[in-house]
Amino acid sequence: MTSLVRRSIPPVLLVCSTGLAACGDSTAADAEIAAEAIEEDIAAEAVDADAADRHEAVDDAGETAEAHDVTEDVPEEADVSGGDDAAEADVEDVAPRVVTCADEPPPGAELPDPLPSYALECPTLVPGRNTITSTGAAREFLLVVPAAPVSAESFPVIVLWHWLGGEAANFVETGEVQVAADAQRFLAVVPEAKGDLPMKWPFGLWDVEGRVNEEVRFFDDMLACVAEQFAVNRNCVSTVGVSAGGLWVPQLAQRRSRILASFLVLSGGVGQDGDWLNPVRGWVPAGHHLPALVLWGGPTDFCGLEFQSTSRHLEDGLVAGGHFLVECVHNCSHAVPPFVPPPGESTYAFLWRFAFDHPYWLRDGESPYQVTGLPAGAPEWCGLGAGSAAIRVGSCEGGILGECM
């Protein structure tokens, strides 16, 4: 009965609003229809069996990817006959490094493409709301600037894509972005949706390629104008999406992997061939390996789409491509992730830190977390690699459906 109920819900009408906020009002009635189906759908035995299968598959893929990464970094003509010293040197060459975006790229490191240029004249940007012309249309975004910037500062940039029922200001407020920018010293660029798409961002199978390219151009134009006015650390440009924004960010990451250093997806993901319950564009191998953080609200993360499925589809593509990833799985469905930060930090400081800990010039599949483990402040329900996270336990605000309704 559960599967029949789910198939009766048009996915295009029910993409939920957020992992940081509630669904749009238009989704509420249909979400109520889905509530009983979701509750019945979660059997502990099935979840455990599925998790075991995933861990086994990930272990096999991880061994293959690890072997591939090591051989890539050893030249074909390398002389490995130099005894123990030579062997130790080879291991050191491929060992993960503990670095951040504040470090200078080492000699010979792969660097990002030059930042985009803007075809028109950039307006003078101000903290708060700004308007530029992109692909012939007036587009708006919020700019968050850290307090008291000094001339010597070079800022990381994080572009934040909001959820279906929200706006840029909701992301800034709910994400405590100004507080985080002040403390962690970054620029936040928060686009407003154009308003011509029912799902806000062009991630669906029904969205034409021209509209996808228009949104990518908007990203380029925002970044170009920000970089014209502020000192930008071009080795540390990242992007974050939540719910509808989290379904868009993987599409952007594929197309701008030569500029982006990392990306974070909260209750988002991609589609997969044959998964008609989740009619979302799939993952296409990116030109540059991007460290990623993939977070969702467990097996009940449902609001028109099954976000556990879309998140796992994304993970499958990342693992196959040799990308490093952090997986985080809470148990609060399609709702605000229940982060509990250390004293003195903003609620989502760990998310922003993920971006700062992964500069563009890391080797393929490399992360400092492979040496240090997850940093202090990371939730216990996060882990290194697909299938690694132990789902959170404990109470949630909003009940089993989170804030989907």
Cβ contact 254:283 at 8 Å: yes
Beta bridge partners of 187: 157
pLDDT of residue 82: 38
Structure tokens at 291: 């460290």
> What's the average model confidence in pLDDT over 17-24?
45
Q: What angle do CA 216, 220, 226 make, to 5 degrees?
A: 145
pLDDT of residue 166: 95
pLDDT of residue 319: 98
Q: Sorting pLDDT into bands at 50, 70 and 90, what band is 217? A: very high
In order of 47, 142, 323, 403, the CA distances from 19 in angstroms are 21, 20, 24, 8
Q: Sorting pLDDT into bands at 50, 70 and 90, what band is 151? A: confident
> Residue 173 burial by CB count (10 A; 0-12/13-18/19+): exposed, middle or buried?
middle
Query: What is the Cα–Cα distance from 158 to 261, expressed in whole angstroms?
Result: 10
Helical H runs in 20-115?
28-41, 44-72, 83-94
Contacts of 122 (CB under 8 A, 6+ apart): 132, 224, 225, 228, 229
For the chain, the C-alpha Rg in angstroms (whole number) is: 21
Q: Sorting pLDDT into bands at 50, 70 and 90, what band is 403? A: low
Residue type, 250: P
pLDDT digits (tens, 9 = 90+) for 379-400: 999 999 999 999 999 999 865 5
Decide if pLDDT at 235 tops 90: yes
Beta carbons within 10 angstroms of residue 192's beta carbon: 17
How does DSSP assign 167-179, residue by residue?
Answer: -HHHHHHHTTHHH
Domains of the chain: 2-62+114-384 (3.40.50.1820)
pLDDT of residue 94: 73
Query: What is the Cα–Cα distance from 87 to 69, expressed in whole angstroms?
Result: 16
Query: What is the Cα–Cα distance from 235 to 104, expressed in whole angstroms?
Result: 9
In order of 34, 338, 359, 373, the CA distances from 21 in angstroms are 19, 12, 29, 30
pLDDT of residue 400: 52
pLDDT digits (tens, 9 = 90+) for 291-323: 999 999 999 999 899 999 999 999 999 999 999
Query: What is the Cα–Cα distance from 49 to 202, expressed in whole angstroms?
Result: 35
Range scoring the smallest mean pLDDT among 67-76, 261-270, 294-303: 67-76
pTM for this model (two decimals): 0.81
Going across the sheet that includes 382-384, the strands are: 128-134, 137-144, 187-191, 155-161, 232-242, 262-266, 292-296, 325-329, 382-384
Q: Longest C-alpha distance within the chain, in Å?
A: 70
pLDDT of residue 89: 40
